Amino acid sequence: MSADFLLASGHHLFLLMLVSMLAGEAVLLRQSVSAASLQLLARLDLYYGISAGGLVAFGVARLFWGAKGLDFYVGNPVFWVKLGTVALIAALSALPTLDILRWRRAARAKPDALPDAARWQRARRIAFVEMHLLVIVAVAAAAMARGMGRA
């Protein structure tokens, strides 16, 4: 097995994990606020963060040790669209993550404390925006794999 195959496989597996965790969050956020849903949401968000970290780590490794090499990516405008979209998703995901951490702290201090419904809905909207932005990432990845964006 080649290093490129292992790096691509890891990258794709972390992407699948990220999509699964984000979809789970979006479904959970459609439900009403409860202590149980908050606990599950916090766990999903933790795994979402782990999958995002793994995805980025494998992506960076592919830049340097993958078969295509750094030059293939850096000179490709489609890569920069993909990377910019990933950065936007990361920035958006910080808002619900910070809320979730706040909500968990409040629940530990006062077990019957529940998240604000408006913030819960904001987290839901952000999760759906993130899911839609992932479509751009997928299309950009498919375009790059077929040599699009190269001079």
pLDDT digits (tens, 9 = 90+) for 113-145: 888 889 999 999 999 999 999 999 999 999 998
Proportion of the chain above pLDDT 90, given as a percent = 83
Q: What is the mean pLDDT of residues 61-65?
A: 94
Which of 8, 26, 30 minimizes the C-alpha distance to 18? 26
Q: What is the mean pLDDT of residues 47-64?
A: 96
Answer yes or no: is pLDDT of 51 > 70: yes
pLDDT digits (tens, 9 = 90+) for 17-27: 999 999 999 99
pLDDT in the model for residue 151: 66
pLDDT in the model for residue 93: 97
Domains by residue range for the chain, with CATH: 3-145 (1.20.120)
pTM: 0.91
**Cβ pair 22, 127 in contact under 8 A:** yes
From residue 148, alpha-carbon distances to 30, 76, 77, 89, 102 in Å are 38, 8, 9, 23, 43
pLDDT in the model for residue 111: 83
pLDDT in the model for residue 113: 85
Q: What is the mean pLDDT of residues 7-30?
A: 97
